[in-house]
């Protein structure tokens, strides 16, 4: 059953869109990530224009993040003070990112920007995740190593404007979470992702937040940052397709429930290896698309 997407200006099978949403939701439920960094490439693979894929992907993440944030808030696993500082940086970052996206969009190079950004970040993140997970799996076969801290103090922790975050039991410079939020905001606008796949490790290893509070606090920040990025894309670039977002959301809700049940039966190291392989696979596909010869070649010349 075909449906016409007014903003993407193309017809797509409804079942394919629901299936993509279900697959991303399933992966989110299994691996505990937002899935936005996979949703946008999947949409590009089926022919959705990259600009529309980015704007609509951010829109779909808003609903998913709100649901998760409320669940963690009820359990008391959200540090609103830390989330507020991250959010302040994220709002500015999303504005800057939307400006960069709009500038490149006007130059006609937005496809190249999105492709290169995804290849670099997915390749780096997937590679590091795969290596680290293999090390953990190999260590489990030997004697347990001595416990070590998740983070170490560096020059970043000596920055001025220190704040005390009582919920997270931290006393760090406010510039650190502001900078992290700013970077994630840019990613949200340029890539159409919530940035959780980079925000969560940064909160654990750079800020030193308790793992129990990390997911809920990150979802709090992601909810508002992706909402602002969606607003900027809809207002400035007109690249948010509501019909596409709704169909993806239907599949994501069902897929997330199934994925959560399956994910509970796997070990953490196994989950990270599988996620790393999926990320690297998407990265290779996008990278191939950047260097492969187009199916239809054309040239532009001044008319006589």
- Of the two residues 40 and 17, the one the predictor is more confident about is 17
Angle of the 50-74 helix axis to the 80-107 helix axis, nearest 10: 170
Q: Whole-angstrom Cα distance, residue 9 to residue 220? A: 33
Q: Is residue 257 part of a domain?
A: yes
Query: Does some domain include residue 41?
Result: yes
- The contacts of residue 258 (CB under 8 Å, 6+ apart) are 26, 29
User: Does residue 268 lie within any of the structural domains?
Assistant: yes
Collapsed DSSP state (helix, strand, coil) of residue 171: strand
Contact 114, 289 (CB under 8 A): no
Confirm whether 13 is domain-assigned: yes
Q: Which domain holds residue 206?
A: 2-143+161-290
13 vs 77, which has greater pLDDT? 13
**Whole-number pLDDT of residue 277:** 80
- pLDDT of 272: 66
Helix (H, G, I), strand (E, B) or coil at 12: strand
Report the pLDDT value the prediction gives residue 25, as an integer from 0 to 100: 72
**Mean pLDDT, residues 123-143 taken together:** 72
**Residue 3 has what pLDDT?**
85
Taking CA atoms, 168 is separated from 77, 90, 179, 206, in Å, by: 10, 20, 18, 13
Is the pLDDT score of 119 beyond 70?
yes
More confident residue, 30 or 121: 121
Q: How confident is the model at residue 148 (pLDDT cuts 50, 70, 90)?
A: very low
168 Cβ contact partners less than 8 Å away, ≥ 6 residues apart: 79, 82, 207, 209, 210, 213, 217
Q: Is residue 26 part of a domain?
A: yes
Q: What pLDDT, on a 0 to 100 scale, did the predictor assign at position 147?
A: 47
Q: List, for residues 233-283, the tens digit of each pLDDT value.
A: 677 667 777 788 888 888 877 776 777 667 656 665 666 677 778 778 777
Q: What is the pLDDT of residues 212-236, one digit of tens each?
A: 787 778 778 777 777 777 777 677 6
Q: How many separate domains does the chain show?
A: 1
Return d(Cα 62, Cα 226) in angstroms, integer.
6
CA dihedral for 13, 18, 24, 27, sign (positive or negative):
negative
DSSP structure string for 29-96: HHH-S--HHHHHHHHHHTT--HHHHHHHHHHHHHHHHHHHHHHHHHTT---HHHHHHHHHHHHHHHHH
Has residue 156 been placed in a domain? no
Which ranges in 141-210 belong to alpha helices (H)?
175-191, 196-205
Which residues touch 36 (CB under 8 Å, ≥6 apart)? 57, 58, 60, 61, 191, 192, 193, 194, 195, 196, 226
pLDDT at 106: 76
Residue 151 lies in a domain: no
- Residue 153 in domain: no
Instruction: With a cut of 80, say whether residue 176 has pLDDT above it.
Output: yes
pLDDT of residue 73: 80
Output the pLDDT for position 124: 79
C-alpha separations of 55 from 7, 13, 125, 230, 262 in Å = 11, 20, 22, 6, 30
Whether 301 has a pLDDT exceeding 60, the answer reads no
The pLDDT of residue 32 is above 60:
no
Q: What is the pLDDT of residue 204?
A: 75
Residue 299: other Cβ atoms inside 10 A: 4
* pLDDT reported for residue 188: 73
Q: What is the mean pLDDT of the chain?
A: 74
Q: Is the whole-model pTM more than 0.75?
A: no
């Amino acid at each position: 059953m075909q449906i016409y997407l007014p903003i993407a200006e193309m017809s797509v099978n409804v079942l394919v869109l629901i299936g993509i949403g279900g697959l991303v939701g399933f992966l989110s439920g299994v691996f505990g990530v937002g899935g936005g960094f996979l949703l946008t490439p999947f949409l590009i693979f089926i022919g959705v224009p990259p600009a529309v894929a980015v704007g609509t992907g951010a829109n779909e993440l808003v609903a998913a993040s709100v649901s998760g944030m409320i669940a963690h808030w009820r359990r008391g696993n959200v540090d609103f003070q830390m989330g507020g500082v991250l959010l302040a940086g994220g709002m500015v970052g999303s504005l800057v990112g939307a400006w960069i996206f709009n500038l490149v969009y006007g130059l006609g190079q937005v496809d190249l920007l999105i492709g290169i950004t995804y290849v670099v970040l997915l390749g780096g993140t997937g590679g590091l995740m795969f290596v680290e997970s293999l090390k953990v799996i190999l260590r489990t076969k030997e004697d347990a190593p001595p416990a070590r801290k998740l983070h170490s103090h560096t020059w970043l922790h000596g920055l001025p404007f220190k704040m005390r975050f009582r919920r997270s039991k931290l006393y760090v410079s406010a510039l650190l979470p502001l900078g992290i939020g700013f970077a994630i905001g840019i990613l949200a606008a340029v890539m159409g992702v919530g940035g959780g796949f980079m925000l969560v490790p940064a909160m654990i290893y750079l800020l030193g937040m308790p793992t129990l509070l990390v997911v809920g606090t990150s979802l709090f920040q992601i909810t508002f940052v992706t909402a602002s990025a969606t607003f900027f894309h809809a207002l400035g670039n007109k690249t948010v397709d509501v019909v596409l977002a709704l169909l993806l959301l239907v599949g994501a809700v069902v897929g997330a429930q199934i994925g959560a049940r399956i994910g509970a039966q796997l070990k953490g190291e196994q989950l990270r290896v599988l996620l790393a392989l999926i990320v690297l696979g998407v990265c290779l596909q996008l990278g191939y698309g950047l260097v492969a010869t187009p199916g239809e070649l054309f040239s532009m010349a001044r008319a006589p």
